[in-house]
Amino acid sequence: MISKTMVPIYFASLSKILTSCLGAFGAFLVIIDVSLNNWEINHFLGNAQYFITPVANLPSLHAVKSHYAFPNEASPEDLSEVSEFMMSHSLATATDHDDDHYLLTVGSYDILDAANDICGDLVHTYPMENVTDSIPGTIRLATVSDKLEYVRGNLFEYMFGTADTRPAPANATHAVLTDLGYTPTRMDCDMRLTTPIEVPEDSGGVVSVNTSMFRIFPKSLCTTCTPIVEFGHDICELKFTYNATAQTITVLSSKAHIGGVHTVGLMFQRTAASVASLVVRALCVLFAIFGYIASQRTIRWCDPTALSTWYKRAIYTMSPPIYRYSSHAFSFSSFYLNSDWFVFGYVIAVLLDEKQSMIYSKIMYTWNEHSDNYWIPIQLFAIQFRWLWLNCAIVKLFKVVLNFVSLTRYTGKNLLVGLCNFSSGFYIYLGAVVLFDRTKMIQGINHDMVSLSSSTEPLDGLRVDVFNGYYIRTVPDILFIMTINLMVVLTIDHVVHFRWWQRVAKSSLGRQTMFNSTSILNEMRCDFYHIDGYKNQAVKIQARTLCTMQWFFMCHTLCFGLPEDPKHIRALLSHSAKSDLLTVRLPSTSKETPISDLLKLSHSNRSTKHLAVRPKTTDDPTTDDPKDAPPADSIQICILVQDSEGNIRMYDSRRSELVGLTVEEKILNNGKFTLG
């Protein structure tokens, strides 16, 4: 039977283990993303070149027409001008091995039912007289069609029940569809090509044959924009008849073999942004690894003069002076989730590549929805996991904006800024759960889609606006979902750990973390202590941990420049006056600071960095263990403050700044500081 007093301890231990596991899984997904979802590596391997087999020597649509038999109702002559441009551009780009485009593999998908069977489009009658270039005794079959996709509705209309639900009639025209609230969102041009099929000598009989069918499927998200091209390959079971008199082949049925495999490829632009994204992502990963390694050692207490210029700060960030002692101030996940450099660097990389990644993940999701490729969800998780740092960046930006617009003069006074903090990495990962369904959400928002074929109405003159494109139109909805999701997760965190957050806010360490910088993760590496006669919350922290934290918050986060509330300074001085302890220190290691300097109000764009804290739960009995705490009248309490330049400084209750040998002595002796 577990006692009630032990429940918080077990809960804290379980939370720590779970957070560590989630951090390891997150690091695994980043590695998968950087390696397997790497367009440069995928393109370099060249495995997707197989998809251009049927047109390897046919660089134009005109050349394709002379090699393949097209049905009259699905031939290149029926294409709109835009569709013909899309197909011709796709063929020329693919056969030229253009370095301005990526040609990628997107996986293989088992055909388990009719949902992934696309062979049915071959059911047509094919006149053979127009084929001028073919292997004697054989014929290649092909179809091509184009259509304009329309969509209506958005998240807010669905939420408030104002979405138009009138069904679109069959073969509706553009005027009818727009009257029903539909908007053009994508232009498609779909071509299927088979390998040579042997023509029977006798006509009239039904012939069965298995043949390879290739798909070239360019899509454009705005009129005449550079198309994105989806490739595919299937083995189709054909049943057809041959009419020697009419010189036609009629395909009676065409279906994929259930249990067969549909392979998918993709071609899109290789832009400077996509290349830069890969480089920035790789640099961010290396930065996180080396930064984390540095954080595992004790870093020298930083003198603000060492960061007086930007290049000194950069050097101190990348290569800080360290002691040989371990500090273990941060876990790897807490480092890469909280460092401004990593978070915003990774977000930049994600946004530079977002168009390509959304297209790639949408194609994977669509085909795997009716398949059972168990590796595809891992790749999808890795792509969608990128938005975890977008979540972190949004919370950090909220803190900056809320601090900027607030009239608050002291740290700890802006409650909204305080709410923009997570007690542990678990809640950050919890906020990412919704992001794993990002592709599904886009599909859901765009679920009300209809098509307008060129056989129903000429498509020339109909425009697809870029802001009505399939993906861009969903951006406001996705950002709204992300914001609500973050608010819910933060609320849950602050409600569940309400008492713990109250205690954190009463310490100078917690105030600097919660209210006075862009740090969003408060995994406190210290213990709470109750001191008789002291009105605020005291914490005890190892000097080695504190020094490393000072480096992190001064170099990896942005400070706001808010001074301490005078009442906290008075509480510290009041306790000092009541104490009988006489503190002995070397004159050369401490600097007396007038009370007016401690209370001086200085506003700037940067401020004290926080010290991270792992939540021990609100009722953790170990945080106030009287065995570990010295007598109340013998405790020397220090306080963390910041100057107008955003530098973290530490003062004792005698108003003396602790620098140099005072801090180093604690480091060498593995001592602790008591912070008020």
pTM: 0.85
Residues 215, 53: contact at Cβ < 8 Å? no
Dump the DSSP string for 85-104. Answer: HHHHHHHHHHHTT-TTEEEE
Co-location of 157 and 258 in the same domain: yes
Residue 9 counted as domain residue: no
Whether 263 and 217 share a structural domain: yes
Q: How many CB atoms are closer than 10 A to CB 676?
A: 27
What are 617-632's pLDDT values in tens digits? Answer: 333 333 344 444 444 4
* Residue keyed to tokens 């929805």: 369
Last residue of a domain, one of 270, 285, 314: 270
Report, as ranges of residue numbers, the positions in the chain whose pLDDT lies below 50.
1, 580-596, 599-634
The residue written with tokens 């639900």 in the block is 165
Please tell me whether residue 177 adopts helix, strand or coil conformation. helix
What's the domain count of the chain?
3
What's the pLDDT at 4? Answer: 55
- For residue 178, what are its two tokens? 């727009």
* Torsion-angle region of 471 (φ positive above 0: left; ψ -120 to 50: alpha; else: beta): alpha
* DSSP code at position 645: T
Write the burial class of residue 350 (CB in 10 Å: 0-12 exposed, 13-18 middle, 19+ buried).
Answer: buried
Spatial CB neighbours of 381, under 8 Å, sequence gap ≥ 6: 29, 436
Cβ atoms within 10 Å of 459's Cβ, excluding its own = 21
For residues 489 and 504, membership in a common domain is answered with no
Which pLDDT score is estimated for 9? 62
- Assess whether 452 and 513 both reside in one domain: no
Domain co-membership, 61 together with 182: yes
Angle in degrees, 0-180, between the axes of helices 498-505 and 475-496, rounded to the nearest 10: 80
What's the pLDDT score for residue 333? 86
Q: Same domain, yes or no, for 429 and 504?
A: no
CB 328 within 8 A of CB 293: no
How far is the C-alpha of 673 from the C-alpha of 676, rounded, in Å? 10
Same domain, 295 and 436: yes
Q: Is residue 12 part of a domain?
A: no
Contact 411, 512 (CB under 8 A): yes
| Beta strands 322-326 and 637-642, pairing class | unpaired
Q: Are 294 and 315 in contact (CB under 8 A)?
A: no
Of the candidates 236, 270, 304, which is a domain's last residue?
270
- pLDDT for position 12: 66
Examine residue 170 and state whether it is found in any structural domain, yes or no: yes
d(CA 676, CA 579): 14
d(CA 638, CA 442): 52
Task: Look up residue 88 and give its amino acid.
Answer: S
- What pLDDT sits at residue 579? 57
Asked if the structure places residue 283 within a domain, the reply is yes
Same domain, 503 and 408: no
Residue pair 583/492 in contact (Cβ under 8 Å)? The answer is no
Question: Dmax of the chain from CA atoms?
Answer: 116
Pair (323, 461) in one structural domain: yes
Question: 315: domain range?
Answer: 276-496
3-state secondary structure of 646: coil
pLDDT of residue 306: 76
Let me know if residue 328 belongs to a domain: yes
The residue type of 270 is R
Q: Please name the residues in contact with 356: beta carbons below 8 A apart, sequence gap of 6 or more.
A: 39, 102, 268, 274
What is the per-residue pLDDT for 600? 45
Mark whether 78 and 217 lie in a shared domain. Answer: yes
Tell me what pLDDT residue 265 has.
Answer: 97
- 3-class state of residue 141 by DSSP: strand
Asked if residue 49 is part of any domain, the answer here is no
Give Cβ neighbours of residue 172 (< 8 Å, ≥ 6 apart).
180, 450, 452, 456
Q: Identify the residue whose tokens are 């606006």.
A: 465
Q: What is the pLDDT of residue 625?
A: 44
Distances (CA, A) of 373 to 106, 165, 450, 587, 603: 12, 35, 29, 70, 56
Contact 609, 557 (CB under 8 A): yes
Query: How does pLDDT run across 436-493, given as a tens digit for each residue?
Result: 889 999 999 999 999 999 999 999 989 999 999 999 999 999 999 999 999 999 999 9
- pLDDT of 567 reads 83
DSSP H/E element including 513: helix 508-515
Co-location of 464 and 568 in the same domain = no
**219 part of a folded domain:** yes
Domain end call among 479, 496, 513:
496
The answer to whether residue 66 is domain-embedded is: yes
Both 540 and 619 in one domain: the answer is: yes
